[in-house]
Amino acid sequence: MTRTVETEIVIVGSGTAGATLAKELSAAGKKVALLEKGKREIRLGRMRDGLRFYEKHTFLKSKEGTILYGTSMVGGTSVVASGNALRCQQKELSDLGIDLEKDFLEAEQELKAAPLPDKCISEGVIKLMESARSLGLEPKRVPKFIDPNKCKVCGYCVMGCRYNAKWSAVNYVDRAVKNGALLMTGTRAMKVLTANGKANGVEAVDSKGPLKILADIVILSAGGIHTPIILQRSGVDKAGKKMFCDPFITTYGISRDTNQTKGINAPMYIIKPGRFIAFPFIDPPVQFTLYNGWKPLLGQFPRMKALGMMVKIADEPIGKVNANGSIEKPITSKDKDKFKEGNKIVKELLIKAGANHKSVSTIRPIRGPHPGGTAAIGEVVNKNLETEIKNLFVCDNSVFPSAPGLPPILTIIALSKWLSKRLIANQRTI
């Protein structure tokens, strides 16, 4: 027998977007149900923890072999993010009539986004910054949503923060629940329910079997992979196309006197707009075993002085997420040219900072941390983030009009605040 839950607004996904929406809408007195297919994770901070909550207990891959990051847990991938609070897509969204300036300021204040003090930055990163300046580059500090007074500088941000020093969407989920929102974990949304061309709920399944969550408004915030799958199952056939993933590669070198293995990842960046952004980045040691090219490095890891840099690009949006969950994401020749340009600078920087030139090695495969664009504004949703099905909205980086090539969390929060305010005011059109 199918059970039924009735609410005013149902949100699918408790990551950055879903959690922000739930917090804002419940604070305004709206009756909200927040669906999450994963559970609340308590143990964080180690590779063995990541094996529990990363999708399929490892990493998703496109058929071409590109790794795509995704998690199943309360808070979504915000839990395993590096805590970067950079703005992105502000102009692109503004050109579409979506002005996020006030929402960005609000988000930055709530997250207390600020560059980290030197005590949280490794000697290796300090050396990289000095070397970058000597090469005529312009390194900048990254604003972070990390509390430096709680941070233990363990370097395991990407496995979740066990010291509660880093903001994640879990913080917003907890506030939403305090406001009266219903958090439904272990609940997988299958498709959107409709009647007379309007969304009126979600068909889902949990450990007890099928259920229906009936609502006046449905918001999909399940991320760039799962949102388009649900949309396609619900009859929105345009979803899933034009996928990007902000791919990155990581290059390492071994130094005799400079260490980067203990410190916050990505505390500074070097950017060439439209081409690439580069951050200091070191993978957790055991994670090396998942990538090609790790053996020369891992054998030395306990005693080595490691330096690492990530090169991330805004890729061409030619990927695809199919209704059956299969993913296509080729890396184009234009993408490869951007990587080549960025990696040339990164290798020069690593050597300048003290890495032995013979040790410099690039890890494969390519990784895509921010899959999105699969329900883009103007393609799948309108400027109000509403689909062709009335009362069915999408709010996550699926709606981004292009690849940002930058960390999207701050923008997703700002966009979610923007949509929340409009729904609270019942303002449906720009």
Q: What's the alpha-carbon Rg for the chain, to the nearest Å?
A: 21
Question: What's the rounded Cα separation, in Å, for the pair 381 and 378?
Answer: 6
Q: Which domain holds residue 251?
A: 118-144+247-320+330-368
**Does the structure show a pLDDT above 50 at 32?**
yes
Same domain assignment for residues 202 and 235: yes
**Is the N-terminal amide bond of 285 cis, ω within 30° of 0?**
no
Helix axes 169-178, 16-27, angle to 10 degrees: 30
Same domain assignment for residues 282 and 165: no
DSSP string, 55-115: GGGS-EE-TT--EE--B-BTTGGGGGS--B----SHHHHHHTT---HHHHHHHHHHHT-BP
Give 57's pLDDT tier (boundaries 50, 70, 90).
very low
pLDDT, residue 160, reads 87
Assess if residue 430 is contained within a domain: no
Query: 415-424 pLDDT, tens per residue?
Result: 999 999 999 9
Give 37's pLDDT tier (boundaries 50, 70, 90).
very high
Same domain assignment for residues 9 and 124: no
Q: Which residues are 268's β-sheet partners?
A: 141
Assess if residue 154 is contained within a domain: no
Global pTM value: 0.94
Same domain assignment for residues 267 and 354: yes
Same domain assignment for residues 79 and 130: no
Same domain assignment for residues 165 and 292: no
Query: 318-367 pLDDT, tens per residue?
Result: 999 999 999 999 999 999 999 999 999 999 999 999 999 998 999 888 99
Q: Count the neighbouring beta carbons within 10 Å of the beta carbon of residue 251.
A: 23
Q: Would you say 398 and 392 are in contact if contact means Cβ atoms under 8 Å apart? A: no
Assess if residue 150 is contained within a domain: no
**From 55-59, 113-117, 361-365, 390-394, the region with the lowest mean pLDDT:** 55-59
Query: 353-396 pLDDT, tens per residue?
Result: 999 999 899 988 899 999 999 999 999 999 999 999 999 999 99
Assess if residue 405 is contained within a domain: yes
Query: 149-192 pLDDT, tens per residue?
Result: 999 988 888 888 899 999 999 999 999 999 999 999 999 999 99
Q: Would you say 193 and 220 are in contact if contact means Cβ atoms under 8 Å apart? A: no
If one counts the domains in the chain, the total is 2
Question: What's the rounded Cα separation, in Å, for the pair 234 and 47?
Answer: 36
Same domain assignment for residues 277 and 358: yes
Same domain assignment for residues 30 and 72: yes
